Structure formats: C-alpha cells, structure tokens
A and B are shown apart, each in its own frame.
Chain A
Amino acid sequence: MRDEQEVNAALERYSDTVRRVCMIYLKNYADTEDIFQTVFLKYVLSSVSFESPEHEKAWLIRVTINACKDLRKSFFFNRRVSLDEVVEQAAEVPPDYTEVLEAVLSLPQKYRDVIYLHYYEEYTAEQIGRILGKNTNTVYTNLARAREMLKEKLGGDAYE
C-alpha cells in the first residue's frame, strides 16, 4: 500500500496519461471520473513494486484499459452516444486538433487503443500485445488496418 507522497507523485505524473486512455475508451465525463478514481484507488492499494517509471506507467495504462473495458461491459448496450458528444467530452482540445481526434475516435475500439499506444506512447507491437493481452501479430494487423482507415479519413501524414 502506498503513502500519500507516492500517490500525489503518481497523480502529478500520470493523470494526463490516464485521462487520454479514458478518452479513447469512454463516452462521457462521469464515466471518466469513475475510472479515474478506480484506477488511482487500485494504485493506492496495490503492493506491486515497480522496477522503473516505464513499468509503473505501463501498469497504470493496463489497469485503466481493464477498468474501462469492465465499465463498457456493464453499460455498453444502453449507453450509446454520438461521436460529437464523445469528442466534446475530451474537453479543451484546440480546434486545430478536432479533425484528427474525431478521426481517431471514430475508429472501432480495437484500432483506437493500438493507435494511441503506438503513435503517442511509442510502444512496440510486442509491448502493446503485453499491455492489451493480445498476440503481437494481431497488434500488427490492427495497426495496419487502423493506419489504412486513418489514411482514408485524413489523408496526409497524420498516420505515417
């Protein structure tokens, strides 16, 4: 179990990361708030000792993804919302980036997370496989398909 100082440091370091993962999985702010609290409570209660900041970050990403998937399983079938609402919940995104964000968030879920983990967090396919519990080859396939879909939607070099 972790003390207050560790938890405050984690909130400082990883809040943005957890927020971004929530954004690619969830559809409204209330769910994001629930998951945010769940993830950091797990962090407080966890006795896992991290070998490095990278290990700690990967653990938090994995826990966030699992918590989001659990929530989606519970409510997925009766809480559909429009893409506009999904983009709106990603508050304070400058208009210049709305198009890219919309394009990413309109992808099927299995493509969104690999795009985020690969292009933003810069994980390899093997590392993504470990985080998501998927085969490396499946990650490669999903990345390739996601790239094609983004190319269709955006053109240009956003996906290169």
Chain B
Amino acid sequence: MNKIRETFDAIHAEETLVESTRAFLDANAGHAKRKRMPAPARLLPAAACLFLVAAGGYQYCFAATSVISIDINPSFELGVNRYDRVVFVKEYNDDGYAYANSLNLRFLGYEEALEEILASEEMKAYLSEDEWLTITVIRSEEEQGERILSNVEHCVEGHGNTSCHAVELHDVEGAHAEGLSYGKYSVLLELQKLNPEITAGDIQGMSMCEIQNLIQDLSGESSENCQEDEGGTHGEHGHEHGHGEKRHGE
C-alpha cells in the first residue's frame, strides 16, 4: 500500500498542463464569469418569453435546445428548452411508452424530471435487477449541453448501474429515421464498428445491458458497465417489463 501511495504521490500535473488549461478556460469560459444579475433582471427572460409568446414566438420558448435520451429497456427522450424545462417526452419502444406515461414530466425542470425518474418504483426495480441505465445528453447548444451533462452527473451520483454521456447532434441525427432514441443509436454506431452488419432492428428490443454484453462478446474486451458478477451475467434474464418485445438471444 505504501508503495502504491508513494508512486501516485510522485505524479503531479505538469505546470504546462495547468497553464494551458488556464488559458483554455480564459478563452472559452469568459462568458461564464458574468456576475449574477439582480433579481428584477433575472425575471427578464421570463418576461421576454411571455412577450414572445404573445407575439407569436411560441417556437422560441417551446423548441428543444437539448435532448436527454433515457435508455435502459424503456427508451425515451426528454426535449429541454433554453430555459431548462422539459418541453416534450418522446417514446421509442413500448416499455418507454408505458413508463413515460406513468410519470408527468412535461414542463418540469429537467433536473426535477430526472429525480422523478430515478425515484420511481419501476426504475428502482430495473436497477435492482442489474439492468443498466444510460443517460445521453445530445448537445446542440454547447454551453447548455455541458451544463446539463454536469447536472445529470450530479443527479445520478449515488445511483448504481448508471452512466452518463454526451454526444453531438450531428453524430446521431440518423437515429429517429431508424426508429431509435439518440442514446441507443449512439451505441448502435459503436456496435457497427465491431460488426457493420448489425442493424437498428437487431437492437431495438434489447436492453442496454444486453447491448453492452454484445459489445463485450464482439470486442473481447471486458465491459465496464454490465460486468459479470459472481452469480451470473447481467442482461441475460428477461424481466417483466418486456411487453412481448423481441430480446437478444430469444
């Protein structure tokens, strides 16, 4: 233990690394250092929003500027507007439809929506069955996307069997044409690097854990998510939420 401690103690961030990061932050986060606006000024966006709605600016307030894709076996997306409110919920499989409709997420702040999802009995049941929850933030506005990812990571802190990622919209824009959520589609792209013959239809009914295990089988690499446990392999057991969907291996 001492040797391991001494070894890591000997590793320090190089001064050049710290300085280049400082310069990067100066160049890229300058806009983030604005002082907090006084309370009346903070109401301006809401007032502006009301004005724009009245003026026919519905699109401005209700257009999603980021999307959060929630995939476990239920697969659905939350559209988040520029004011961090959920403006739509779109489901991509039967489980996702049943699950999303059991919650009332529209117009909640996205953090509150995620807390509600994570606190729901059905989600707890999935996670206790060692399924894997993947939350993917799709960025179209960079600053909001980074902020959402950071807050999502904070939200899931303390919840096992979860992972959070961010992808760029232009990388996954083919998702909906294939009938997949953005999150599941980004995993399909990873799978296709290993086996180009795998199609969206092949993974549509699979849980994220089953997909991780498939990646593991194809790559020969150990999965960092759905690991083998002493009691068996996760994801091979069907559970009660399938609604008759076809599953990998069935």
A interface residues, Cβ below 8 angstroms from B: 1-4, 7-8, 11, 15-16, 18-20, 23, 32-33, 36-37, 40-42, 44-48, 59, 62-63, 66, 69-70, 73, 76-77, 90-94, 97, 100-101, 104, 108-110, 115-116, 119-120, 129-130, 133-135, 137-138, 141, 154, 156-160
Q: CB < 8 Å: which of A70, A110, A160 contacts B165?
A: A70
Given A7-B29, A36-B21, A48-B151, 7 more A-B residue pairs with CB atoms under 8 Å apart are A15-B12, A16-B11, A16-B13, A45-B150, A62-B157, A69-B224, A110-B227
B interface residues, Cβ below 8 angstroms from A: 1-8, 10-14, 17-18, 20-22, 24-25, 28-29, 32-34, 130, 143, 146-147, 149-151, 153-154, 156-166, 190, 193-194, 219, 221-222, 224, 227, 229-230
Contacts of B156 in A (CB 8 A): 133
Give A69 Cβ to nearest chain B Cβ, in Å: 7
Residues of B contacting A: mostly: helix
B150–A48 CB distance below 8 A = yes
In the bound complex, what is the Cα–Cα distance between A110 and B229 (angstroms)? 13
A158–B1 CB distance below 8 A = yes
Contacts of A135 in B (CB 8 A): 130, 160-161, 229
Give A150 Cβ to nearest chain B Cβ, in Å: 8
Q: Which 9 A-B pairs have the closest CB atoms?
A: A15-B13, A158-B3, A19-B13, A97-B7, A46-B150, A44-B29, A120-B8, A100-B7, A119-B4
In the bound complex, what is the Cα–Cα distance between A94 and B12 (angstroms)? 12
A137–B229 CB distance below 8 A = yes
Scoring B8, B20, B29, B190 by chain A CB atoms within 10 A of each residue's CB, the highest score goes to B8
A1–B166 CB distance below 8 A = no
Q: CB < 8 Å: which of B10, B33, B158 contacts A4?
A: B33
Once A33-B17, A42-B150, A45-B143 are accepted as A-B contacts, the answer to whether A93 and B7 lie under 8 Å apart by CB is yes
Q: CB < 8 Å: which of B162, B166, B222 contacts A108?
A: B222
Give A1 Cβ to nearest chain B Cβ, in Å: 4
In the bound complex, what is the Cα–Cα distance between A115 and B7 (angstroms)? 12
